[in-house]
Structure formats: C-alpha cells, structure tokens
Structure 1
C-alpha cells in the first residue's frame, strides 16, 4: 500500500525537478497536471476500494473455502500479500477508465454516442474483467468489482460527451 503512495511522490519529484516538466509547452503542462492529478487520484481510489471492500470478502471466502476434508486449508503470508497486491494493482488500473476515455476523446478516436451504443457490450466486458480480477469464484465479490467498473464507464460517457462538445465549440470559434 505504501508503495502506491510513494510512486506518486516519486513521480511528482521527477515531474517538477527533472526531465518531464521543462520539456513541455505551457498548454501541455496544464493538461499534463490535470491528467496526472486525476489519474493518481483515481488509481488511489481503486487501491483503497480494493483494500477496504473487495479484499476482506476475498480473504474471507478463500479462508473458508475447503476442497475436501482431507485437504487442510493453509494461507501463507506470502499468498496473502500477493493476493492483496494483485487486487490493489488491478483495481487501481481499472479505475483509470475515465482517464483513458478522456484521452481517446481528446484525440478524436472515441465518441459518447459510440460508447452509449455499445453500453451492453461494455457491461459484459466489465463482468469478464471482474471475473479475471477476483481470485474467488463467488458471484458476490465479482458483482462488487463489476459495479464500480460500470459506474466508471457511465461517468466516462458523460466525460467524453463534455470533452467532444468543448472541442467542437473551440473548433467553431
């Protein structure tokens, strides 16, 4: 968990004092700051969501899961930490959906109409991603992971619509 916070500090120091910020124009710095701030905030939100909500359910399920009476269920500290890190990293990356869609909309590759048209497909993809992320086979944990992915997708549609509208008004002037 601490490494995710330290990565933000390391990136900020390298941004301000080393090679990234001096190489950009002023308008690029504005977008970059916005992108880095929200990207890091969303990543940390995904990590915290995983740590406080998903991982307790996952750990409870895995600790009570019994293959058979002859096989004893033992959880090692290394497997506990590996599962926690994997879930945190995957949820942090998954929470970057709005940043990715904003970037694609800014480049003119993605539109809100396209995203709304393929909403049902996105929900299925969200469930598949949730099934891959969760190491358990219970539906409840998978739905807990699916819900924020779908919510982020819906927020991304709004963000893309706003971005495209803003880009069109600037292009008309």
Structure 2
C-alpha cells in the first residue's frame, strides 16, 4: 500500500508535471509538425535533384575513366525521396528547438522547481561558441571538398585501374560516400572547440588530456581507419587533422589566459 502511495506521489510531483505539460504541448503540435514535414519534403524533392546533378558535374569528384551509374530505374527517385525526407526532418527538428524555447517562457513552473537563468555573459559565450562551431564546420567541409574527397576518390580509381578493372560507381553509394565524409569532416573539425569548452568549463583538467594524449591519438587513428581506405596517406588525411586540432586546442588553452 505504501509503495502505491509513493508511486502516486511521484506521478504528482512538480517535476513529473512539467514532463506532462511538455507531452501535452507536443501532442498539440503534431499536426503543425506533420504539415511542416510535408512542406520540407515537397520543397526538398526538387532541391535533391539539383544537388545530385551538381555533385555529378563536379569533375574533381569523378576521376577520368569513371562512370556514375544507376542500377534500377527508380534509384534516382528513391535517392531524391530520401534527401527530401531528411530536409523535412531537419525543419521539424529546428521547429522543435524554437518551440521549446518559446514554451519554456509559457510553462507553469512549480515554486519548488528552480530553473537557472542564463546570464548575459553566458549567452554571449554560447553565441560565440555557435559562431565558432559554424566556422569550424565550414572549414571542415572545404577541407573535405578540396583535399580529402579528391584524394580518396582518385586513390580508389587508381587502385581499381591498377587491377585492370573498369570502374562504374553506384550513384547512391557514391553520394553516400561523399556526404558521409563531408559531414564527418565537419564534425571532426569541432575537436578544438570541444576541447576548449571542456577545459574552460572545468569538466576536465589539462593534465588529464596531456596524460592520455596517446590514447586520444589512437582513437583519432581508429576513426580515420574506419572512414578511409587502408593506406597510410588517406589515413593521415583524416586522423592527422584531428590530432593537429587537438594539439592546437591545448596550445591555445595554454596561451590565452582564463577569466577570473
């Protein structure tokens, strides 16, 4: 009996009530989110066709003697549908973030639940972090587009040619390879920002990162090996920048003084 009463008290607790309000709020937004997904899907389908056409025309991504083919009549349509779906989901995700920020101001927060306010200096630091993240992601995308992808695709082409094979690349697999490496590079170039935030936020000590430096290097090499062909040069093109950016972050943290 006491366990039943305790469970009922838990369900009626202020914090659980907040989650109930959140669930009710999301249910009220289902139709709006569904409409937004459909809008993004319809908008994304022609954009996907333009994007695929743009990729195929990039000569530095298609080595000489290589053909991009489809293996069934619906392959291009399916690929465009997938991309359109991602566009729709992206719009829904952004809408949820904006809606959550607006909902936080309208929710009835119980008196015994404290939600810390973000100070003006903290908001400024968050804004700077977002801007730096976008800049680093852009640099990573450019690195992938201009250096990493041309090298790896040319390497794969040369490797197949040396074996006397005629190359025809599957459209969906080729687009997936290009997109995954591009996004992977964008995330990999977030390393210095993550390291600086961990150090300046007091979540980890500089000595700990220095102590486990070799382990971090090894993890970078493993990630590079998972994303690249098994040769030293292509591995270095992926793991090398991650290791260098990690070391640069440690150097920046040592040079720039911390605020009081």
Which residue in the other structure is 2:258 paired with? 166
Alignment-derived partner of residue 154 in structure 1:
247
Report the CA distance between 1:72 and its aligned residue.
4.8
User: Which of 149, 168, 172 is the aligned partner of 1:74?
Assistant: 168
Name the residue aligned to 2:15.
none
The 4+ residue runs of structure 1 with deviation greater than 4 A are: 17-24
Are residues 1:49 and 2:143 paired?
yes
d(CA) in 1 for partners of 2:132 and 2:99? 21
Q: Partner of 1:91 in structure 2? A: 185
- Larger-Rg structure: 2
- Of 191, 197, 220, which aligns to 1:126? 220
- Is 2:234 aligned against 1:138? no
Aligned length: 156
Partner of 1:166: helix, strand, or coil?
coil
Q: 78-87 or 107-116, which moves further after superposition?
A: 107-116
Q: Contact (CA 8 Å) 1:63, 1:75: kept in 2 or not?
A: no
Which stretch has the larger CA shift, 87-96 or 107-116?
Answer: 107-116
Structure 2 Cα separation of the partners of residues 64 and 142 of structure 1: 17
Alignment match of 2:205 (pick from 100, 111, 126): 111
1:76-114 deviation per Cα after TM superposition (whole angstroms, max 9, x unaligned): 232221111000111111111112112222331212222
TM-score (norm 1): 0.74
Is the contact made by 1:101 and 1:110 (CA closer than 8 Å) also made in structure 2? Answer: no
> Which residue does the alignment assign to 1:28?
122
Q: Which has the higher contact order (CA 8 A, sep 6+)?
A: 1
Q: State the Cα deviation string for residues 31-64 of structure 1 (Å, max 9, x = none).
A: 1111001011111111111111010111112223
Contact 1:130 1:143 in 2 (8 A): yes
Matches for 1:5-24 after TM superposition, within 5 Å: 24=118
Q: Give unmatched runs, 5+ long, in structure 1.
A: 4-9
Per mean C-alpha deviation after superposition, the further-off stretch among 113-122 and 148-157 is: 113-122
Match of 1:7 in 2: none
- TM-score, normalised with respect to structure 2: 0.51
Structure 2: tracts of 5 or more residues without a match: 1-50, 55-82, 84-90, 106-116
- What RMSD over aligned residues (CA atoms) do the two structures have, in Å? 3.2
